[in-house]
């Protein structure tokens, strides 16, 4: 039975250790992202919100709109990232969509965003309100990428202009944005691909017409280690208390009948000696 109890205790400890490490990592990462987001919105340095490594820092679209007494700043950048394929390095190009709420009631935390090219193409992305800060962006539900990729809007070998963004939640239209995004706005991809073909390596600095962004690194390893150590100390203390500490029962147990008789006899002997 003792072995079974120790095995159960070990399993509980293992699960707890995993939870402590995971929860600590997610908690401090989210706090760091939230702090960066708040600072970026306050300073209006919106290019810091672009997740792609390469982009043109001049927006292809920027406009403030008011819809149902809610004011939004819409900014769209031409951006790209590099992927490794069997035929070599490939630049994947598209649009980075950002919407910052300036006033009014916030949209839900998650919703659908249908990006349309007339009646020809419709691609559904997942929209989100980052930590309910009124900062909205989108990601593809399959790739998890935030880029509205050019290749999604190709028909018969030609790019079909994007002309509408429709925000929906459970079939209800939240808002509609009429935005015209054309082939001429896509310049980063060709410049980046030329560099890749000539150098066979992705650039780690700005090149002509393309801004390079260092990857965001959030290091919470020290905090995870600290919490894991605290947890393990508590585990050791718990193990000692449960499995190793001997109960001190001397003087607390009830005396047996034989012991009671011996005690009574000793008391009588003491009285007779007096």
The answer on 152 and 98 residing in a single domain is yes
- The position carrying tokens 């000539």 is 198
**Distant-in-sequence, close-in-space partners of 16: CB < 8 Å, separation ≥ 6:** 231, 235
Q: For residue 246, is it within any domain?
A: yes
Q: For residue 34, is it within any domain?
A: no
The answer on 173 and 83 residing in a single domain is yes
Task: Tell which wins on pLDDT, 7 or 1.
Answer: 7
Cβ(223)–Cβ(28) below 8 Å? yes
The answer on 187 and 93 residing in a single domain is yes
The whole-number average pLDDT for the span 100-125 is 94
Domain interval for residue 254: 2-25+221-273
Cβ(148)–Cβ(127) below 8 Å? no
Q: What is the pLDDT of residue 40?
A: 85
The answer on 226 and 200 residing in a single domain is no
The answer on 60 and 123 residing in a single domain is yes
Tell me the per-residue pLDDT of 257-274, one tens digit each, with 9 for 90 and over: 666 666 677 666 655 555
Compute the mean pLDDT over every residue in the chain, rounded to the nearest whole number.
88
* Percentage of the chain modeled with pLDDT above 90: 60
The answer on 62 and 193 residing in a single domain is yes
Q: For residue 36, is it within any domain?
A: no
The answer on 183 and 162 residing in a single domain is yes
The whole-number average pLDDT for the span 86-97 is 94
The whole-number average pLDDT for the span 78-91 is 93
Tokens found for residue 3: 């072995």
Q: For residue 32, is it within any domain?
A: no
The answer on 237 and 142 residing in a single domain is no
What is the C-alpha separation between 56 and 232, in angstroms, rounded? Answer: 49
Q: For residue 30, is it within any domain?
A: no
Cβ(71)–Cβ(104) below 8 Å? yes
Q: Is the confidence at residue 253, as pLDDT, over 90?
A: no
The answer on 248 and 157 residing in a single domain is no
The answer on 256 and 201 residing in a single domain is no
Q: What is the pLDDT of residue 254?
A: 60
Domain limit, last residue, from 212, 239, 255: 212
Q: Is the confidence at residue 249, as pLDDT, over 50?
A: no
Domain limit, last residue, from 159, 183, 212: 212
Predicted TM-score (pTM) of the model is 0.77
In three-state form (DSSP H/G/I as H, E/B as E, the rest C), the secondary structure along 199-262 is HCCCCCCCECCEEECCCCCCCCHHHHHHHHHHHHHHHHHHHHHHHHCCCCCCCCCCCCHHHHHH
* Percentage of the chain modeled with pLDDT above 70: 89
Query: Domain count of the chain?
Result: 2
Tokens found for residue 85: 């394929």
Cβ(56)–Cβ(187) below 8 Å? yes
DSSP for the chain, please give it. -HHHHHHHHHHHHHHHHHHHHHHHHHHHHHHHHHHHHHHHHHHT-GGGG--SSEE-SS-SEEEEEEETTEEEEEEEEEEEEEEEETTEEEEEEEEEEEEEEEESPPPPSEEEEEEEETTTEEEEEEEEEGGGSSEEEEE-TTT---EEEGGGGEETTEEPPB-EEEEEETTEEEEEE---B-GGG--HHHHHHHHHHHHSS--SS-BTTBEE-PPP----HHHHHHHHHHHHHHHHHHHIIIIIPPP--TTTSPPPHHHHHHHHHHHHHHHHH-
Q: For residue 130, is it within any domain?
A: yes
The answer on 186 and 230 residing in a single domain is no
């Amino acid at each position: 039975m003792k072995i079974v109890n120790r095995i159960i205790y070990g399993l509980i400890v293992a699960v707890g250790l995993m939870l402590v490490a995971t929860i600590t990592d997610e908690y401090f990462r989210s706090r760091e992202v939230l702090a960066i987001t708040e600072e970026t919105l306050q300073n209006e340095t919106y290019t810091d919100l672009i997740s792609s490594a390469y982009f043109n820092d001049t927006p292809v679209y920027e406009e403030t709109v008011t819809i149902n007494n809610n004011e939004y700043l819409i900014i769209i950048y031409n951006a790209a990232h590099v992927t490794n394929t069997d035929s070599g390095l490939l630049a994947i190009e598209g649009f980075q969509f950002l919407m910052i709420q300036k006033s009014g009631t916030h949209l839900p935390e998650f919703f659908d965003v249908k990006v349309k090219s007339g009646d020809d193409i419709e691609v559904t992305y997942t929209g989100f309100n980052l930590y309910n800060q009124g900062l909205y962006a989108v990601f593809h539900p399959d790739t998890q990428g935030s880029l509205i990729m050019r290749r999604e809007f190709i028909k018969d070998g030609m790019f079909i202009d994007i002309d509408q963004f429709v925000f929906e939640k459970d079939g209800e239209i939240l808002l509609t944005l009429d935005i015209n995004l054309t082939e001429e706005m896509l310049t980063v991809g060709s410049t980046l691909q030329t560099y890749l073909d000539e150098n066979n390596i992705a650039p780690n600095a700005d090149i002509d017409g393309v801004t390079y962004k260092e990857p965001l690194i959030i290091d919470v390893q020290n905090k995870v280690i600290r919490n894991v150590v605290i947890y393990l100390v508590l585990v050791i203390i718990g193990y000692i208390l449960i499995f190793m500490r001997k109960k001190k029962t001397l003087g607390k147990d009830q005396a047996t009948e034989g012991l009671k008789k011996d005690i009574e006899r000793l008391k009588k002997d003491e009285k007779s000696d007096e």
